Structures are given as structure tokens and as C-alpha cells.
Chains A and B, each alone.
Chain A
Amino acid sequence: MDAVVKRLIKEIKKDGDEKAFAELVDLYKDKVFQIAYRMTGNHYEAQDMAQESFLRAYANIDRYDENRKFSTWLFRITTNLCIDRLRKRKPDYSLDEEIKGTDGLTGYAQIAATDQLPEDQVVTLEMQEWVQKAIVSLPPKYRSAIILRYIEDLNIQQISNILDLPENTVKTHIHRGREALRKRLKDA
């Protein structure tokens, strides 16, 4: 995979090759979308943020240092964009709010509709919504660390590179994130 990514990036850097870029997007779109979705908590913003991540990566590809992992650079763009977006949100924004013109549909219904559950999924849809609600309730800095650690399954060092934070700070954020999740999820 790394060799493929290197070749694609070389082609994009050389003449902005759109076909190579499309291949690159295909390789990373699910992971980037997943991060954006767990960060923003809704499908529409996630799509926006994920798309914007790739457009920025394309526009700034010359700044990407090929000695470093591409996913680290790309995920950093995504988490930064999401954290910025969360900051700009109106403080009264809530998933519990009814979405205009949808006849009583809340943000949670949107999430449920877009989650894809494999047949052997033990956890019910209701449970999925509940877990997502707990993740989205975390302060953004803990949320990003928890998502990268437990949903993207990255190690502390990788997360520290993505979030551009010292490893000890990442550990503290994960520690606090886990405590907050425990308080919400313990009565399951």
C-alpha cells in the first residue's frame, strides 16, 4: 500500500494528475469519512469535512513531506477541519433538535439511517446511536483522541503525530475521554 501511495503522490505532485488523485481518494475515503462522522456526529457535515479534507490535501500536496506517513498528514487535515467546524457551531446546536421540514426527524435518526450494520453485528442500532451520542458528547480534544485510538485503532505515537501533541498530552486526553465515556456508558 505504501508503495502505491508513494507512486500516486509522485504523479499528483508532478502534474496534478486527477486520475492518481481519484485513486488516492478511494484508498482513504472511508477512514476520513469515519473520522469526520464521529467528530461532527452527522452525515452532512461529515461529508462536507471529508470532501474538504481531500481538496485541501490536493491543493497543498507540495507541502506534504514524503518521508512521513501520508495518512498522518491527511488525518491531521481532517481533525483540524472538524475541530474548527465544531468551534464555529452555534452553541445551541443539538442533535436532539428537530430538523426543519422533516416532520419530527432528529439528528439521531439521520445517524441511524446512515450507519451500515453488517449482518453479524451484535450491537443493536439503538446501542449504536447511544454509543455515538456518548462519543459526540465528549469535548472535541478528547473526542479526536478517542476516535483515533479506538475507532481507527492507531497507537499513541501515531495519534501524537496526527494531533501534533506530545504523547503524554494524548494519553491524558484519552484518559479523560475514557472517564467521561465510563460515566455515560456504565449503566448499559
Chain B
Amino acid sequence: MACHKDYEYKLHQYLDGDMTETERDELYQHLDTCEECAIHYKELKKSVMFVQSASHIEAPFEFTEGVLKNLPAKKKTKWWKK
């Protein structure tokens, strides 16, 4: 756990790229001295990496054909009445 709720919030701000340079430097300094927060950050980073590494799956075979088969019957084109 982060040493303080404030720092937990800051870690998330950092992960979202929502920090000014000064805020970032301050956080880096804190992480150098606070083991709890450093571990918390490492764990967050690791979790994000795991989710990002989730294999990209594809739609099943003949998915598009399946969708088309279920389309509502098309309105008859009345070309012959022209």
C-alpha cells in the first residue's frame, strides 16, 4: 500500500500522464525514499502491463456471414414500378 492516500492518488495521476514536471519530480523523489510507495507503483505498473499483454483475440470464423444472415428482410426495391 502507498504510505498515504494522497500518494496513491498521485501515482494514478502519474500513470494517466496528468502531472506537471514539478509534480513529477516531487513524486520521483518520494519514490526514492519511500519503499511502500515504490512497491505500490511497481505493482500498479505490473498490473497494467499484464492487461496490456492480454492476447488480442479475433472475431470467430464467418462472423460477418452470421451477422448478415440475421439482418431484417430488406424492403423490396420497387424498380419494376418505375
Query: Which B residues are CB-close (under 8 A) to A116?
Result: 55-58
Contact with B along A129-163 (1 / 0, CB 8 A): 00110110000000000100011000010000000
Task: Tell whether, in the assembled complex, residue B54 and residue A25 are in contact, meaning their CB atoms are under 8 Å apart.
Answer: no
How many B residues touch A, CB cutoff 8 Å? 34
Q: How many residues of A contact B (CB 8 A)?
A: 51
Main SS class of interface, A: helix
Q: Are B57 and A182 in contact (CB under 8 A)?
A: no
Give 1 or 0 for each of A82-95: 1 = CB within 8 Å of chain B CB.
00000000000000
| With A22-B68, A151-B52 as contacts: A178 and B60 at CB distance below 8 Å | no
Q: Which A residues are within 8 Å of any B CB, using their own CB?
A: 15-16, 18, 21-22, 25-26, 29-30, 32-34, 37-38, 43, 47, 50-51, 54-55, 58-59, 114-118, 121-123, 127-128, 131-132, 134-135, 146, 150-151, 156, 171, 174-175, 178-179, 181-182, 184-186, 188
